Structure 1
């Protein structure tokens, strides 16, 4: 399709009437939010909520920022920063064009321009979706990892940072020095207690620079915790081609998602906020119970499906769930081991479980198990280990949780059940592969070596027999019977 047929502001009027377009002129929108991490999830989630409210309140447009690469900026800039959200279900696909992102900056390319945007007095919220690893912290403790390469680099040149903690703190320092009120930080990643955790991380980073700055960040900067929920698979070339054909215009980087969406926000915005509730967000005083519910039930189950499903030869979540043994396993995992650890009066956890299972079955999403399996060393502490600790404290069994953890151990060895290489995407990939090479296929040695990784499992679990034994036993079963056989045994 020629460049003249590209998605753009001028082309919106020619779209089919059944394609939803912005109910405002994006050229009239003023920026009020900077968002760090303009990836697929943000564009299918927060940017959609903001798009809903801009018709009534145009002062909350988004300035986007990529902390790594320029490809998203380049793709969207050529189409006036518009893009398409394709909502897919078994009933078909609905298209919507989003206009809430006004511009995108690339931090490594030009940190000063991004910092200038962060220091604009009109910016009252800085939100983030940088994934767990983007916070440069120790997932086992929730503290800043001062030895992280990005943090070391930023500490050497703190006026031109590129990490998320470095950018936030430098912008806050400049705003303080200019007598500009600090923005509210709003993390939207899957971290336990993400508000307090991120507040602690940026305070700890500031303390490495200046104690006065650290006191300012700790006392005067608000961090609003959130829980976000929407399944957003990576966009494939086939997705792009299909959406472009349905749109009648070339969209270089659309996003694909499911009908379900949820955003729970701690109402902690001393310098103002949009009317999030008017567009469907839930404003609460304490987001932590919702975070825990989602991390344990959705994310923990998702990772279990990803590792076991990949090893069993299933490419997507929906094809994995089509195997009745996997569906029974996930239902039992949530019902028997996860839900008893959640204290949420007034919330129907059974209904939430059933809705999750229905979402996992959505055949239109094609959410790849390999994609979900990425960065497992960062995800396991958030998605599994809190549940494990609560179960152990109650003297309760953890057999299904242990199977998910053991499947991660088998996956990160880097070789699948047919002897083919697995492309393991993880910050600890080299260390994990080296351990597997040294221990071989001995489940006791392999489990013991992986459990000794303090950055994943902390210091309290390795020598607890009620934890190490079921994990080792599950790993032994996966090696002997394969992932599908282990799931069949656990589901029976």
Structure 2
């Protein structure tokens, strides 16, 4: 069976219009997928140059396939499998910024280049004052972008028509504004030409964005079966759910240059992306963070297993419709429709989403995703939302351990070890406090202002209810407590 490449796809040569920082599964099944459809349905006629921004990983699998790969969107519809496979031909090349620095910087001089996309994780958009302009390349993503844009500024002598439209998709608040601020700070730190700052402000367009799609990546266990069905081998095969949403808040109108609205793609241009972000973070992410740790301790390993457990599905319905949605100042019908969509996504049998993978950095996730709903509910109704409180007790139960291994805290479920991964400060706290009695542990955790930005013990009854749930979990086990309170 032949391996996928340009000989098989007969992909047309298109000018490079997009530089993409990151080669991960999400970008390939989301951004590159959308640009592929944009090429098909409009006269955009542009390709993508992927830049690998970090030393880890290899570009060879991409080059062996001429950067051609398949995106497989899978779901269950009306009780039957619904699978849509699309060969992506929008990527022209891949460059390793660390080992092919000159080739990376040469892209800055391309006259066809117009857009920059990135997904370097939430930790990627940070101001690193130790980064240096002299490094080839600078260590941080904003450092690489700053030096890249400066090279373009110099090459075109500050031509205002040669700026780039920059679309970060990292999951941080106001990602475009934060990235722009970081680039300007680095330009100042490095004493770059003052006209460069003016060029950034006038010639470049930074967009804040919100993205949503569950991407499950390479289906290792099913790969051979899929190859037989599609008729070729594809080591870059990328699987995902059909649902997608890309909300773009640009500094100026770019819809004419990126006519996604002419393709039927789920792309929304807006002057305020915050309502969409609030809806997603509170309902989808908040519900997920709210139930995942409890579900894992109840014996489940994947999202779909959780959906087969009545106590979990009842818990999800309650936390989503009764505790989160009532706190949101958005049209109720829109919120319910979005929540219904989330439930269907959780039930997608092709989304083999590991609960342990979702548990990564749960302390900061609970703060941003669950805590606002808990605070808003208590302020509005003067009572505690019991499921959101239980989610905090589940976090305390999950983050219980006294030993470290490979930079992770070791927890135990039914006598077997699991690894709890979070930042060092969080793990240190739980290592020192998680074996305290429930009331002392709850008070200590709720009082960690470094985690929550406030002392949550000040919320009437929260410490007592958290400790009560935690004591039950320790005595009777998570599954029994879930069934007792939420079934």
Q: How many residues align?
A: 461
How far does the alpha carbon of each residue in 1:444-491 deviate from its partner, in whole angstroms, 9 at most, with x for none? Answer: 444455456555422x24453345555444444433333323433442
**Residue equivalent to 2:225:** 242
Q: Of the candidates 272, 275, 295, which is equivalent to residue 309 of structure 1?
A: 295
**Residue equivalent to 1:400:** 387
Does the 8 Å contact 1:86/1:243 carry over to 2? Answer: no
Measured after TM superposition, the shift of residue 204 of structure 1 is 4.5
How far does the alpha carbon of each residue in 1:306-351 deviate from its partner, in whole angstroms, 9 at most, with x for none? Answer: 3222222212111101111111111111112221232224862112
1:176 and 2:172 are equivalent in the alignment: no
Q: Of the candidates 252, 260, 275, which is equivalent to residue 276 of structure 1?
A: 260
Does the 8 Å contact 2:439/2:463 carry over to 1? Answer: no
Q: State the distance in 2 between where 1:286 and 1:34 align.
A: 25
Q: State the distance in 2 between where 1:468 and 1:207 align.
A: 47
Measured after TM superposition, the shift of residue 68 of structure 1 is 2.9
Q: Of the candidates 273, 286, 305, which is equivalent to residue 287 of structure 1?
A: 273
Change (3 A) 1:470 1:132: farther
Does the 8 Å contact 1:235/1:255 carry over to 2? Answer: yes
Measured after TM superposition, the shift of residue 374 of structure 1 is 2.1
How far does the alpha carbon of each residue in 1:108-143 deviate from its partner, in whole angstroms, 9 at most, with x for none? Answer: 33444334325534322212222222223xxxxxxx
Measured after TM superposition, the shift of residue 184 of structure 1 is 2.2
Measured after TM superposition, the shift of residue 398 of structure 1 is 3.6
**Residue equivalent to 2:405:** none
Measured after TM superposition, the shift of residue 62 of structure 1 is 1.6
Does the 8 Å contact 2:292/2:355 carry over to 1? Answer: yes
**Residue equivalent to 2:238:** 255
Name the larger-Rg structure: 2
Higher-strand-fraction structure: 2
1:421 and 2:417 are equivalent in the alignment: yes
Q: State the distance in 1 between where 2:432 and 2:341 align.
A: 43
Q: Of the candidates 477, 480, 483, which is equivalent to residue 485 of structure 1?
A: 480
Q: Of the candidates 332, 353, 366, which is equivalent to residue 367 of structure 1?
A: 353
**Residue equivalent to 2:141:** 164
Change (3 A) 1:358 1:177: same
**SS of alignment partner, residue 237 of structure 1:** coil
Does the 8 Å contact 2:14/2:45 carry over to 1? Answer: yes
Q: State the distance in 1 between where 2:118 and 2:278 align.
A: 19
Q: Of the candidates 322, 326, 329, which is equivalent to residue 343 of structure 1?
A: 329
**Residue equivalent to 1:437:** 431
**Residue equivalent to 1:140:** none
Q: State the distance in 2 between where 1:444 and 1:111 align.
A: 56
Change (3 A) 1:200 1:471: farther
1:334 and 2:320 are equivalent in the alignment: yes
Does the 8 Å contact 2:133/2:147 carry over to 1? Answer: no
**SS of alignment partner, residue 315 of structure 2:** helix
Name the structure, 1 or 2, with higher relative contact order (CA <8 Å, separation 6+). Answer: 1
**SS of alignment partner, residue 96 of structure 1:** strand
How far does the alpha carbon of each residue in 1:146-174 deviate from its partner, in whole angstroms, 9 at most, with x for none? Answer: xxxxx255248566213222222222333
Does the 8 Å contact 1:36/1:127 carry over to 2? Answer: yes
Does the 8 Å contact 1:7/1:251 carry over to 2? Answer: yes
Measured after TM superposition, the shift of residue 51 of structure 1 is 0.6
Change (3 A) 1:112 1:299: farther
Q: Structure 2 matches for 1:464-483, cutoff 5 A?
A: 464-466=458-460, 468=463, 470-483=465-478
Measured after TM superposition, the shift of residue 252 of structure 1 is 0.8
Q: Structure 2 matches for 1:13-162, cutoff 5 A?
A: 26-55=11-40, 56-68=42-54, 71=57, 73-90=59-76, 91-92=80-81, 93-118=83-108, 120-136=110-126, 144=127, 151=128, 153-155=130-132, 157=134, 160-162=137-139
**Residue equivalent to 1:194:** 175
Does the 8 Å contact 1:226/1:263 carry over to 2? Answer: yes
Q: CA RMSD of the aligned region, Å?
A: 3.0
Gaps of 5+ in 1: 13-24, 137-143, 145-150
1:228 and 2:211 are equivalent in the alignment: yes
Change (3 A) 1:80 1:214: same
More moved, 390-399 vs 297-306: 390-399
**SS of alignment partner, residue 20 of structure 2:** strand
Change (3 A) 1:400 1:252: same
Change (3 A) 1:446 1:82: farther
Measured after TM superposition, the shift of residue 285 of structure 1 is 2.2
How far does the alpha carbon of each residue in 1:348-404 deviate from its partner, in whole angstroms, 9 at most, with x for none? Answer: 211211111111011122222122222334533432233344335434534322333
Q: State the distance in 2 between where 1:365 and 1:445 align.
A: 39
Does the 8 Å contact 2:219/2:237 carry over to 1? Answer: no
Change (3 A) 1:262 1:475: same
Gaps of 5+ in 2: 401-409
Q: State the distance in 2 between where 1:198 and 1:381 align.
A: 23
Q: State the distance in 2 between where 1:295 and 1:254 align.
A: 29
Q: State the distance in 2 between where 1:408 and 1:206 align.
A: 41
Q: State the distance in 2 between where 1:406 and 1:188 align.
A: 32
More moved, 304-313 vs 390-399: 390-399
